[in-house]
Structure 1
Amino acid sequence: MPHVHEPRASARDQRERGAGYTAFAEAFAARPWCLGRHWCSWLENPQRGFGLKDPWDEPYRDLTVAVTETNRRLRALVCG
């Protein structure tokens, strides 16, 4: 399922969404004033377009793998 909803940057597929998440998370982790961040939606909402799972409760694998790996790596970096 393509991700084309504004105002967020559009992505052609879930792999691009994962790359976008990684860039977003790394940018925030580099800022000393940032205490954390969150992902707003668990299930995909066709009008909003930013869930971790599709409307049928299936995870977007390329996206969720990127989120998991990014968070694990950044946690180790930030927490030591």
Structure 2
Amino acid sequence: MKEYLTKWQALMDKPVINADIGNWCQTKMKSNRVSDLKTQADRARDYIESISSLINEPWFIGWHWCAHVENKARGWGIKDPYDQPYHDFINPVKGFNKGIYEKI
């Protein structure tokens, strides 16, 4: 992702916002999903590692997370289909996001 965004930024010479990103693992709704990420905690680590690789790039201005509540169309979210948070995902991400400006 960083390699592609760096190339696009160089072509356009404009700041970059990653406007639609998400990651997934198996859930009750999508128990047959195949992913290298096995748990919600794995998803949190992946999110943190991904943003950490971009946060100090001078052209990087933001990241929009795709899918708030898991549903049949999207198949993933930060909450399950019954509006219950995936705490193993949300808690580490929340902690990381709260300190993000200290990492710059």
TM range (shorter): 0.7 to 0.9
Percentage of matched positions with identical amino acids:
31
* 1:65 match: secondary structure: helix
Structure number with greater Rg is 2
Segments of 5+ residues of structure 1 without an aligned counterpart are none
1:18–1:62 contact (8 Å) kept in structure 2: yes
The residue number in structure 1 matching 2:26 is 2
- Cα RMSD, aligned residues only: 2.1
The residue number in structure 2 matching 1:13 is 39
Deviations 1:9-32 (A, max 9, x none): 631010100110111110120321
TM-score scaled by length of structure 1:
0.77
TM-score scaled by length of structure 2:
0.62
- Shift, 1:58, TM fit: 0.3
4+ residue segments displaced more than 6 Å: none
- Shift, 1:38, TM fit: 1.3
The residue number in structure 2 matching 1:23 is 49
How many residue pairs were aligned? Answer: 75
